[in-house]
Structure 1
């Protein structure tokens, strides 16, 4: 029964055709794959090997970019298939092996721009914000000199202009009426009691009556309970304190009048900007209400006390206002350029060129004399900020061409290539070549070096070097980089690590090439005191403000 069914299935036409098709495909594969030469179908083996030799690729792991192999295979860490990293098809052998090389097209797509750095006399640009205020020295209160009732106000609203000597109010005063009657009686008795007459006149003067008014009362013999209060200054009424019909006492303020022929521009300066401002500096500012016009003046005062809530100090600029264009409470934006004479003839780079890693500041320098663009990472030490630029204290030379746009793109390429970048200071590389392969053709994973002081001691024992500790003064991470860099610059120093908390520098060095004394001299020369040597004053004064460790 089963045999009969099998024969019936085999006699079906679509099954026979399928078997014939499979047999034909298998026969063709045997013929062409076994052929030593395939004409146009495949390239000769020798030719293929030659091309591979000229166009050698570097293979890496997409998960572990520090792995770099000359041949394809598996990642020795995770076992993933290696991928080609870079093909050296340009033939440019002058490119540094640590450089990041981009094609002209790739650099154009990434909008990479470079600038040749030069030494300059840096100028700090400070932006300040403030308002126009009344000059307090030209502001006066108009008061009543007698007690009584306000019969009439000649100034009725805030903002009205007044002139000096202009009547501003009329006051009914019974006290004044009595004083005038005393004056008339004293005139009658001036021959008998001249001192009494002088006393009454002085009393009238204290009430701000002029000598002409007093003489008129003496001559006419007429008295009046009304007295005019006149303005003691010219200006604008800033505040109206009374109304008609109010009773006032001697000394009651009627109006506040300010002379606006000269005003103050008061700006808020943050404490970080105060070192770059000083009395006498010329400052230019603009107003939102008067676009296109620029006003200028000299700084006349800097408040020595900071506002505890805003952490700012008031900076005052006096400005003449003959046309009355400047009105109190107008918003003002100031711009000042302060030369940093202590950093003259230093290299200045744009802010966009610097990548920050917390402890390090790096730039990418274009390698000269290469057919295709190539860029090398360079660590620098930066000084004060100039707004859109920074002063560079060390790490660059005049004439270096640095990347000012597209820096992140180049650094990302460095990270993918397993080279030094802002995230990887020292990148371990797998050993390439036949020496790095094991017996079965695989490549062992690289072993991380020992870390900590135990690792230093192990390395020191293996190399025959000595370990020493040295007390070095400093305050911040910039100090740490400067101290370690100065120590490592001494020939014979293997490692140098400075602890910010303990102020101790741990050294591993070759005693046949250098000594602790030589390292101590090099660090003092860089501006940091040690327990053996002290930095000279000029070098110490040139340090950034955050590095000033002396009291």
Structure 2
């Protein structure tokens, strides 16, 4: 029993001692690799720096050393990575033909971008008129504009108004008009003052929204009245007709027959349809090409035989938050009222980019932050080339750099060429810069693949796996 215990102590001592010795040597080597100590600092307060070890004056934690090797590592990390390299590679022409490779020349092309967007017909908001009585309160005796959408010609009667203030306004004007007419026949001491008084009363009468015909009719009646009629207000009516200022239809109705209203209250809204708005909405990527005055074409699914030429009249300053689209406006004349608000329309315009060097869209492969094309040198010799591209227009990218006119690029089966380029390592951007094999190749050492011993797998003896299924 004592011999066995002594044997165990012997094996433990000579088994553990080499391990501690190896750990000690590794620690010394690690300390040597760290380099010289630059200063001591606090992990919680990096602003604290000391030449000697000690305690942090802020939190009383032990200061830790900062080695020179830490700065060297940070400096190495700040070195920018090299520009991804590209090298030619070879694919047999028979294989290129089998996978359906197509090529195309980089050419200077005349590029035009056609922008299309859905649109809708809307009323011209600048042609909406509010109908009200500005000078006094009253009642609606008769309402002719008795439903929304009813059409009225200019000067047609909308309603008959009864107002007590209207009676007094007529009498003031009749007296002023008769005095002014008599002054033209008899020389007065101060005719200018009389004229001013008359025009002042005439301006007050216009507040009742009377047209010239109504004012002339009142003046004709005023001159035919006798002095007694003027004194008794004989023939003066307490009602007047409220007439439409434009040709249009009733857009909004806020009044009913017999209703009482106050001065300035909105009774009706009438809108003219002599011209209409076409409202189109463009996505963000197309809105940047649009400008006021840009020519455009408007067509209608309901009127396939008609296409209207117009210009952009207005661009909304903000995108719609719900749709992320920008609204543009076009004004179209509508003399025969064939365009009705709510109709669908199609907006189209063309942006001319002139002649630009361009490459086919199918020839460009994105690799993240950069773009690649494959140059075809003939005979199966291909070369990846990084290019700088601009806007995409009708299937072509504007070329800003990387290729020149006349270069032939692969424009079909590009992803198969991409896979072949990866296999042959033609593009360094697709190979890791941190592979251990690359470092050993640079040092001249040969990398042998590691193989597991035939008797073990993942640390489990092979003899213990005979009972497992499939073994």
- The whole-number CA distance in structure 1 between the counterparts of 2:428 and 2:285 is 28
Q: 1:187 to 1:426 in 2, by over 3 A?
A: closer
Within the candidate set 136, 141, 151, 1:151 is matched to: 141
Provide Cα deviations, 1:126-151, integer angstroms capped at 9, x if missing partner: 44444333333333222234421112
User: Which residue of structure 2 aligns with residue 255 of structure 1?
Assistant: 268
Within the candidate set 348, 355, 359, 2:358 is matched to: 348
Provide Cα deviations, 1:240-291, integer angstroms capped at 9, x if missing partner: 2222222222222232222222222233345554542323221223334444
Q: 1:358 to 1:177 in 2, by over 3 A?
A: same
User: Which residue of structure 2 aligns with residue 521 of structure 1?
Assistant: none
1:425 offset after TM fit, Å?
A: 5.8
Query: Does the CA contact (< 8 Å) of 1:138 and 1:259 recur in 2?
Result: yes
- The whole-number CA distance in structure 2 between the counterparts of 1:446 and 1:179 is 102
1:181 offset after TM fit, Å?
A: 5.2
Provide Cα deviations, 1:164-200, integer angstroms capped at 9, x if missing partner: 1111111222322344456667788887998988776
Query: Does the CA contact (< 8 Å) of 1:201 and 1:214 recur in 2?
Result: no
Query: Does the CA contact (< 8 Å) of 2:88 and 2:382 recur in 1?
Result: no
- The whole-number CA distance in structure 2 between the counterparts of 1:294 and 1:303 is 24
1:98 offset after TM fit, Å?
A: 0.3
- The whole-number CA distance in structure 2 between the counterparts of 1:304 and 1:272 is 16
1:313 offset after TM fit, Å?
A: 4.4
User: Which residue of structure 1 aligns with residue 94 of structure 2?
Assistant: 103
Query: Does the CA contact (< 8 Å) of 2:106 and 2:407 recur in 1?
Result: yes
- 1:122-161 alignment to 2 at 5 Å? 122-145=111-134, 146-161=136-151
User: Which residue of structure 1 aligns with residue 392 of structure 2?
Assistant: 385
Q: 1:198 to 1:352 in 2, by over 3 A?
A: closer
- The whole-number CA distance in structure 1 between the counterparts of 2:275 and 2:428 is 54
The answer to whether structure 1 residue 215 and structure 2 residue 219 are counterparts is yes
- The whole-number CA distance in structure 1 between the counterparts of 2:284 and 2:261 is 47
- The whole-number CA distance in structure 1 between the counterparts of 2:436 and 2:428 is 22
- The whole-number CA distance in structure 2 between the counterparts of 1:125 and 1:170 is 55
| Deviates further, 128-137 or 376-385 | 128-137
- 1:29-40 alignment to 2 at 5 Å? none
- The whole-number CA distance in structure 2 between the counterparts of 1:354 and 1:422 is 17
Provide Cα deviations, 1:477-509, integer angstroms capped at 9, x if missing partner: xxxxxxxxxxxxxxxxxxxxxxxxxxxxxxxxx
Q: 1:240 to 1:422 in 2, by over 3 A?
A: farther
User: Which residue of structure 2 aligns with residue 359 of structure 1?
Assistant: 369
Q: 1:130 to 1:398 in 2, by over 3 A?
A: same
Provide Cα deviations, 1:443-468, integer angstroms capped at 9, x if missing partner: xx982139xxxx9xx9xxxxxxxxxx
Query: Does the CA contact (< 8 Å) of 2:130 and 2:268 recur in 1?
Result: yes
User: Which residue of structure 2 aligns with residue 115 of structure 1?
Assistant: 104
1:351 offset after TM fit, Å?
A: 2.2
**Larger relative contact order (Cα-Cα within 8 Å, sequence gap ≥ 6):** 2
Within the candidate set 165, 169, 174, 1:175 is matched to: 165
User: Which residue of structure 2 aligns with residue 411 of structure 1?
Assistant: 418
Query: Does the CA contact (< 8 Å) of 1:162 and 1:234 recur in 2?
Result: yes
- The whole-number CA distance in structure 1 between the counterparts of 2:137 and 2:277 is 35
1:300 offset after TM fit, Å?
A: 2.8
User: Which residue of structure 1 aligns with residue 206 of structure 2?
Assistant: 205
Provide Cα deviations, 1:33-62, integer angstroms capped at 9, x if missing partner: xxxxxxxxxxxxxxxxxxxxxxxxxxxxxx
Q: Unpaired segments of 5 or more residues in structure 2?
A: 1-86, 189-193, 226-233, 444-471
Q: 1:302 to 1:239 in 2, by over 3 A?
A: same
Query: Does the CA contact (< 8 Å) of 1:381 and 1:393 recur in 2?
Result: yes
- 1:237-252 alignment to 2 at 5 Å? 237-252=250-265
Q: Secondary structure at the match of 1:340?
A: strand
Q: Secondary structure at the match of 2:403?
A: coil
- The whole-number CA distance in structure 1 between the counterparts of 2:215 and 2:88 is 99
Q: Unpaired segments of 5 or more residues in structure 1?
A: 1-95, 429-444, 459-551
User: Which residue of structure 2 aligns with residue 402 of structure 1?
Assistant: 409
Give the structure-2-normalised TM-score.
Answer: 0.59
Give the structure-1-normalised TM-score.
Answer: 0.52
Q: 1:247 to 1:286 in 2, by over 3 A?
A: same
- The whole-number CA distance in structure 2 between the counterparts of 1:361 and 1:293 is 44
- The whole-number CA distance in structure 1 between the counterparts of 2:365 and 2:216 is 80
Q: How many residues align?
A: 334
Please tell me the root mean square deviation across aligned C-alpha atoms, in Å: 4.0
The answer to whether structure 1 residue 448 and structure 2 residue 455 are counterparts is no
- The whole-number CA distance in structure 1 between the counterparts of 2:102 and 2:121 is 43
- The whole-number CA distance in structure 2 between the counterparts of 1:449 and 1:112 is 36
Within the candidate set 153, 156, 162, 1:166 is matched to: 156
